[in-house]
Structure 1
């Protein structure tokens, strides 16, 4: 791949997408951020690079074929980093068809626009389409099962993971059928700054700060591998630069632990933090009814990233979590605006019932 590509990032105002935008611009890449600005997107996430001459924003939906064609023709990107997706499992249980619409149909629309661009530039060997997926497409693991590898069969459990699995298959089909130079990444659970407040780690931090109950599904024994978002962004740019087209790369943080252990660790950090009220945040933990089809364990074998691309996660789990707690305590304006908007939406919904 040639140096300094024009990188089109979908979902670049979201949690992971904004990390990619910030890092790519900091490394001198030209970035086009395409985002429809749904509830989990936040333009404040890209404020650090918004004024850079390397950064452009397009308010558009990946399901809109005309808009995608216009954007590809206007900017002529040499690479695509596709992150735009509905991604919250609980929301997929409440409203599954929206996930199929965005994650499957949106990906197909984007693939067609990317294919047209690739063909217009003579099917250049420098073009790349990186599709960012999840380890959840593999289903779940027993306590002693080996970690997910790139050859683990797909067995998605939720409407969210099923829609991501379907989009993965579409991306592979566009490679096999049309030759589009694609790469697929499957990552473990991300955490870090700018994560939308409905996700587990922000929920624990913000409920702890407010003295509200900290909900934990079931008995909290479900296990996840945790990957710092900056490590993930670095891995994605590494795959973009050096990955082999047609190949899949699993990205993990080598940081597997039970949810309840993670929650207790956050509570300990809040107890010790001078900016957090209270000294016994673990007393706020409340076990709640488990969600349907809750996967027991995810674990990532990221040896292909290490062996082929010389990449490993650099953020120590405890240090990364501590820095994340610090960030949320230092950026109240960022998350307060989001929680206020959520409360307003809930209030409007109650009025319509």
Structure 2
């Protein structure tokens, strides 16, 4: 038995692969295009694990995906592959359309063809799980209730619009062709292996390197924060118990303003890695011009997944953020390799020999 993971060298994907293989013997086939955010260093502990088969490739490469499906015959596909940074989508939206919309479409087409050739029992047990975001729902006012699975889609950035389109395609392939799909929409993730362009890892890195801690606008934008390991637990549960055709919102029940997040990070760093001058890292906070179309608030109502599947986050924001800070302090070589770009050499130095006789490309 095996499962196919797309985007499994990215932030959430790599955490899922690592957690999956700690809890299951089932083989993981991992396809990732290794764009700037795909990092095989994050999976280094698996380089000699035969249960993990890595293939460099794009979800839009239908021939390669079809070959993988035919060779390994996975019982499920979990689609993490996506362009995911709002700022990058504002500067260059085309790649987001290529990966998140066209890529998802081509992946669905290839998976549908594979699924249609399975036996009736295999078809009934197969699952396609699509991992998405709460940003497809748009922005909330401070007093509004959180997003439910029935909330109207109102995306406000090229990134969220591209993810909304992918969600609609996944839904359409279930209702039109019967493909047994599941969709999860999660709130802001944080934790180990997070590429340091996002708020939390960027603040940790800048703080330790005596740089400004940039906050957009007045810092009052509100996000619900979800520790990535809790998210992985939710995905495993949806895969095993979720009803095909259904959507499940996954949130951390931890709404914080961006300013509060940065202040919390500073407080933790003050305790575990104090500045040489004895001052708080909060002295480095700097307010910068807000980005265009910045959504005010995201909030998830995770009542459905709690009631129907029994999922609850384990980590509070305070416990999760402390674990995250400690991980970055203990894994400085990973951080420095990402910042310098040297992580891109990891494939040739650590993986080429391992995969020279396999399907690896």
In the other structure, the counterpart of 1:27 is: 23
CA distance in 2, matches of 1:8, 1:234: 17
In the alignment, structure 1 residue 120 sits paired with structure 2 residue 156: no
What is the alpha-carbon root mean square deviation over aligned residues? 1.4
Tell me which residue corresponds to 1:142: 141
Q: Relative to structure 2, which stretch is displaced further, 273-282 or 125-134? A: 273-282
For residues 62-87 of structure 1, what are the alpha-carbon distances to aligned partners after superposition, in whole Å with 9 as ceiling and x for unaligned? 11111111111111111010000000
Q: Count residues with an aligned counterpart.
A: 340
Correspondence list, 1:78-97, <5 A:
78-97=75-94
Q: TM (normalized to structure 1)?
A: 0.94
Q: Distance in 2 between matches of 1:325 and 1:27?
A: 25
Q: Tell me the CA shift for residue 274 of structure 1.
A: 3.5
Q: Alpha-carbon deviations, 1:231-264, whole Å to 9, x = none?
A: 0011001100000000000000011111101100
Equivalent residue of 2:341, what SS? helix
Matches within 5 A, 1:91-106: 91-106=88-103
How far off is 1:277 after superposition?
4.5
2:314 is matched with: 314
Residue-by-residue CA offset, 1:168-219 (whole Å, 9 max, x unaligned): 0000010011000000000000000100010100111010001100000000
CA distance in 2, matches of 1:316, 1:165: 28
- 1:74 corresponding residue in structure 2: 71
Q: Deviations over 1:280-331 (max 9, x none)?
A: 2111111000000000000000011110100000012101101111111111
Q: How does 1:1-353 map to 2 (within 5 A)?
A: 5-28=1-24, 29-123=26-120, 124-274=123-273, 277-278=276-277, 279-341=279-341
Q: Following TM superposition, by how much is the alpha carbon of 1:228 offset from its aligned partner in structure 2, in angstroms?
A: 0.4
Provide the secondary structure at the position in 2 that maps to 1:260.
helix
Question: Using a 3 Å threshold, how does the CA distance of structure 1 residues 45 and 343 change in structure 2: closer, same or farther?
Answer: closer
Question: Conserved in 2, the CA contact under 8 Å of 1:209 and 1:277?
Answer: no
- Give the superposition deviation at 1:271: 1.2
Question: What's the CA shift for 1:122?
Answer: 2.8
Distance 1:62 1:343, change over 3 A: closer
User: 5+ residue gaps in structure 2?
Assistant: 345-361
- 2 CA distance for matches of 1:10 and 1:274? 36
Mark the CA change 1:342 to 1:198 in structure 2 (over 3 Å): closer, same or farther: farther
Preserved contact between residue 181 and residue 246 of structure 1 (Cα < 8 Å)? yes
Q: Which moved more, 1:273-282 or 1:218-227?
A: 273-282
Gaps of 5+ in 1: 345-353
- Cα 1:254–1:277, aligned 2, differ >3 Å: closer, same or farther? farther
- 2:69 counterpart SS class: helix
Contact 1:50–1:56 under 8 Å retained in 2: no
Contact 1:250/1:301, CA 8 A, preserved across alignment = yes
Summarize the Cα distance change of 1:151–1:196 in structure 2 as closer, same or farther, 3 Å threshold.
Answer: same
Q: Determine the C-alpha separation between the residues in 1 that align with 2:60 and 2:213.
A: 36
The answer to whether the Cα contact below 8 Å between 2:224 and 2:251 also exists between their aligned partners in 1 is yes
TM superposition score normalised by structure 2: 0.92
In 2 relative to 1, CA 191–277 (structure 1 residues): closer, same or farther, beyond 3 Å?
Answer: farther
